[in-house]
Every structure is written in C-alpha cells, then in structure tokens.
Chains A and B, each alone.
Chain A
C-alpha cells in the first residue's frame, strides 16, 4: 500500500510539473527523469512489486487515477491550455479503449479510428446546430451514427483477415476524409463550427466563477470526459473479464478451434467492431464540442495511426496501458514545441525507445482474472 501511495504521489507531482512546465530546461529535465526512473525501476524490479501491490488492492488504481485527474484539474483551474491537454488525453483514452476492444480482443486493427472519431464530431456539429436535441443525448446519438456508418465496413472486414482487414479500414479512413473535403454541405475543407455543449440551459463554454474562484471553461468538459472514460473503462473491463472477453480472445487466437467449439466468429467481430466505433464516435462528439470546430484535416490517416500507436504503446489489450500512452502521445509533442520541427523526431525516438525496452508496451496485458483479488484463502 505504501508503494502504491508513493507511486501515486510521484506520478501526480510529475504530471502536474510536466503539464505546467513552460521552458525547455524543465521539460528536458522531466523527460530525462522519466528515463532514469524507468531504468532504475527495472533494475530493482519496481514493476513486479507494483503489480503485486495492485493485485492486493485491485481497486486502488481506479480511485487514484480519478483522484489524480481531479487534483490536477484543481491545480490548473484557470490554465486553459493545460486543462485542454488533460481533457484531450482523457478523450483520446476513450477512443483508444474502443479501438482496444477491436484490436486487443477480436484482433481487428482499425486504421480508421480518426474517421469514426470524426463521424462523432461531425454528427455533433450538425445535430447541435440544426436541432434542439439535448446535447448530452447528442453525444450518444453521434456514437450511434458512428457505429451505424461503421456497419458499412462489417461485410468487407468479415470477409478478410489480418493485414487485409486493416487495409479495408485504411481505405475507409482515406475515403472518409476525401468525402468531407468535397462535400460542401459539411463545410468542405473549411469544416464546421460546433456550438458549445449546453446542459440544462447552462452553456459550458461560459466558464465558471464560484465565490471568486475562477474556473476555466475546460473544467466541465474535463469532468464529462472523465465520466465517459470511467464508463467506457468499466465496460471494457467487464467485457474482458467475462465470457464475451473469452469468446473474443478465442476469435483472435484461433478462429478454427473457436468455431469448432461453437464460437460465432462473425457475431463477436461485429459486436467488437460496432462497440469500438460507438465509443470512438462518442469521444469524437465531445471533442468536437470542446474545440468548437471540426475540419477534415483533424481526421487524417496520420491521426488514425496515432490512435493505433497509443494502443500498441500502452500494451495491446490492457485498458490501463492506454491512459499513460495517451498522455505521452498527446502531451510530449506539445511540450517539445521549443525544438520546433524537430519535436516529432524526438517524440518518435522516445516512442521507439519505449518499445525497445518494453516490447509489449508500457503495461502489457496480464492473464485474465475474472474476479481479481477475491481468491478464496486470500486475506483482505
């Protein structure tokens, strides 16, 4: 428990410092510190002791993560940029949880993640501008539309496997972007404006002022993102720790053996693909409302690649890996602004180094435990 709390405080202070750092020396020092900690940690078997501690207190990481986000939000209560980055990390994590169901469980690599994210944003733009549908409902309708449009791809994805299925999604992603660029109703290359999220008549983008304590307008978005993340996370977790997760793992590892034991391959691929696109669309709608603007350029193939790389970097199949991976992928390039055009180079090197030392990702998927920490005989 001490170890867990220590790690929590360290990570929290580290994230706050990184989000708040404004000069190159601080950023560089923090990146180097992360490397030193990971090298030393590896030497003294830190990951193993942490895994054991988490096993004893399976609920700790969830509460710590939620608490961590809330504390960080309080610290940066009026700093727009830091909060926007934090909210973006959360929203990217949601999308990647969706992609993880597709990639990590049934084994469909979706290279059109940004397209389904974009469908969510565009749906939100249209529904929020032209209809009076409550905005919270818009989030779910956008998710539904994203899943529905995804069903166009189900037939080709079911007919193909592995790289070929991936190719189908790449084609769709490119098609989607080109369609947006030539479609004038959807704003063409300029894109569309999205009205801010309004809940029960309260415009979230107005910002808040509670007893002289000024809150950035990003805070409410951050909270909604946090709630959606917790929801998606729970769904993913329960999915993995159930017969559904087992069936999906069988589909991924051996379709022939799976069908011999009655596992309906097509059914589980459709469920995973649709659920993944639903989650991606939901995140896209929220992101669109937060940034107030959508354009085709936000949903390129490169963006889809970034989403897939978050899943890989985090550790395919492990929902916990996605959050730190999303944080690295979103925050690092922003914080490296000072080296300008070289920042993506440095960022790429960091990603390669991580995968070199941890080839299965930051937090590789562990063996399935349907009800962890509750084994009979274990105390407390």
Chain B
C-alpha cells in the first residue's frame, strides 16, 4: 500500500528482453516494455524500427529469438497465433488483409471465430441449429456496423472487393472488434487514407470502445496529430530498442527522438 496516491495500473502486457533476429538483422533488440490495462499506448519510431515486428511477435506470427512476452501474467512467448487470439488479443494489419472475394459479413464474422461452433456435425447436418447461430451472428455484425458506421450496415452482404479503401479499413477494425478483445493492436490505421478519413475511423473506434468496454489499445502510427489526440502514453523505438517513453509532449521534446527522426545534427 505504498502507492495510495496514484492509482496502481495493472500491466496487461509485458515484454522482457524481447529479441527478434532475421539472419543478420536485429529487428527487436532486448526490448523491455509494458502496456497498462485500459490505456491507449502509442508506438512510434522511424521505418524499420521494429514496430510491426513487435506486433508480429506478440500475435504469434513470429517466434522471438530470445526474451519473453506475458499477457495477464500468462507466458505468450512461443504460443501460436491461434492461442494468442484465444487470449482476446486482436489486431489490424498495415496493408489490408481482407479476403476480397468474401462479403463484409464473412470478413467480420471470422473475427468472432472463437465463439463460432465449427463442429462438423453441427455445420453439416444440424442446419436448424446452425441457422439460429447464424442469425445471431448476423445481428451482432449488423449491430457493430451500425455503431461503427451505419452506411456500411447496408452493404453487409456485398463483397469487400467492391468497397473503397476507407470502408475496407473499417471492416478490418470491425473484424478485430467483433470478438470483444481485451487488447487491440492497430498497425498504422492511417496508411493509405486521407487525414479526415483517419480521424473519422478513429472516432468510430473510440465510440465503440465507449459502448463496448474500455479495452486496451496499442497504436502504431506515424501521424503525430493522431498520436497526440488518441494516446495517453507513447513509446518510441529505434533499431529495435526503446529510446523514449512518456506522454506525447515528453517524447516530442526528447532529444534522442528528434535525432532518430531527423538524423544526426
């Protein structure tokens, strides 16, 4: 009971000495960082500083060379992407990874995979029961779309290929939100969109967060305005190392950060 003055924040995700090497390239270099429960953390750094690699290691797409990751005190270092998802961690990708020939509904529904009954007998032979579950999921997806962007809800059964970039980004975010995650990893949501579009999508996310639950967000972003507006705390990476940590104002005035972004003086 030493810290009675400031509320104790639970660490939801912690990385200790996390290292990821690809041949001779060290993408993450003994990285130590933590994410507090319920916060919006900004992850910054020049291109190639290891931000996306960090996401890929956490989500089980890469396996760390050394070091470890814990989520709610559970070791996630060497588990598969599927197990990470079951721990209620979801993400979006920098470049859209939607299945274009499938419908909006399909792309979002798969995000709720852990709650879908994928049993053979259930799907192939118990069509009445399947129909009930299907209608429930349609309703869920529809509700999420209505909260997120009502215009998209009318396109629920259209193929994603027919939609513009901003809608695709929205669908990707909906896919990450439908399972009500505890931790949402957003990999550069502004990529390929205009300033206004990005602002719109961010407002949508915050709105859903307010209605759903105060899930934790880690946001990789280059657009400083977005970082300033959205995040409570920032971590700056360079060459796979943490070079600064603090509020937006603290990091933009940090000398090392300025050097990393602008080069040596």
Contact = CB atoms under 8 A, between A and B. Distances in A.
A370 interface: yes
A371 interface: yes
Nearest to B124: A238
A256 B103 CA distance: 19
Interface string A236-269: 0011001110110110011011111111100000
A271 interface: yes
Contact of B114 (A235, A262, A369): A262
A235 B101 CA distance: 22
A250 B61 CA distance: 16
Interface in A252-294: 253-254, 256-264, 271
A263 B175 CA distance: 13
B120 A260 contact: no
B99 A250 contact: yes
Contact of A253 (B102, B131, B157): B102
B113 A367 contact: no
A355 to B, nearest CB: 19
A369 B117 CA distance: 18
A260 B90 CA distance: 7
A242 B82 contact: no
Interface in A354-370: 367-370
A246 B82 contact: no
A260 B124 CA distance: 25
Given A247-B118, A262-B113, A368 B106 contact: yes
Contacts of B22: none
B86 interface: yes
Contact of A243 (B98, B117, B159): B117
A249 B99 contact: yes
Interface in B78-136: 80-82, 84-86, 90-91, 93, 97-103, 106, 109-111, 113-114, 116-118, 120, 123-125, 127, 130-131, 134
B124 A249 contact: no
A243 B80 contact: no
A238 B127 contact: yes
Contact of A246 (B61, B97, B109): B109
A271 B119 CA distance: 11
Size class of the contact patch on chain A:
20 to 34
Size class of the contact patch on chain B:
35 or more
A249 B123 contact: no
A257 B131 contact: no
A235 B111 CA distance: 25
B59 interface: yes
A253 B85 contact: no
Contacts of A238: 123-125, 127
A171 B91 CA distance: 39
Nearest to A250: B110
B53 to A, nearest CB: 14
Interface in A211-247: 235, 238-239, 242-244, 246-247
Interface string B240-265: 00000000000000000000000000
A247 B179 CA distance: 16
Interface of A: 235, 238-239, 242-244, 246-247, 249-250, 253-254, 256-264, 271, 367-371
30 contacts: A238-B124, A239-B123, A242-B123, A242-B130, A244-B118, A244-B124, A246-B106, A247-B110, A249-B101, A249-B102, A250-B99, A253-B102, A254-B98, A257-B98, A259-B61, A260-B61, A260-B81, A260-B84, A260-B90, A260-B91, A261-B111, A261-B113, A261-B179, A262-B81, A262-B85, A262-B86, A262-B113, A263-B82, A367-B101, A368-B102
Given A243-B116, A261-B85, 6 more contacts: A243-B118, A259-B60, A259-B82, A261-B90, A370-B131, A371-B131
